[in-house]
A = this chain, B = another copy of it.
Amino acid sequence: MTSPAGTLETRDMVFPAHANHHGTLFAGQGLERMARAAFLAARDTAGCDVVMAAVTGVQFCAPVPVGRALALRAWVSRVGRSSLTVCVHGLAQAPGCPDELALQGVFEMVAVNAHGRPTAIAHTYLNTPPHPFRQETP
């Protein structure tokens, strides 16, 4: 679709199947959704398959009640030789309510080849030095 490579927007409802016993999104479900968004954003940029190497940090800012939509925006903030950093923000949305920041996180992904081994990422605007004297930081 029209999103630039490396930025992903996705949305899904919070239904009882995703909730804890308080009727709000279970944190583990929030993490799973962020992981899927981070995976897709990284794969787009890398142009090859990726795996998650680490979660740098996630904050849960507000509970998301059943009936809200959770809109996730994931974007690649750094491209190294074979690794990428992806930021994910999540907004809780409902008709007639202002959007509310519900969760945010940073994920480290690694580009892999068909054997699951780390592989170099082809040059993109993020890992191509803009000037011959400036060196890429790995």
* Residues A96 and B40 in contact, CB atoms below 8 Å apart: no
A81 at the interface (CB under 8 A from B): no
Q: Which residue of chain B lies nearest to A46 when distances are taken between CB atoms in the complex?
A: B95
**Listed A/B pairs (26) with beta-carbon separation below 8 Å:** A1-B9, A1-B91, A9-B9, A9-B10, A10-B10, A10-B12, A13-B40, A16-B17, A17-B17, A21-B66, A21-B67, A22-B49, A26-B35, A27-B35, A27-B39, A28-B32, A28-B34, A28-B35, A31-B31, A31-B55, A47-B95, A51-B63, A53-B60, A55-B55, A55-B58, A57-B57
Size band of the interface chain A makes with B? 35 or more
Instruction: Quote the shortest CB–CB distance from A118 to chain B (angstroms).
Output: 13
Contact A60 B56 (CB under 8 A): no
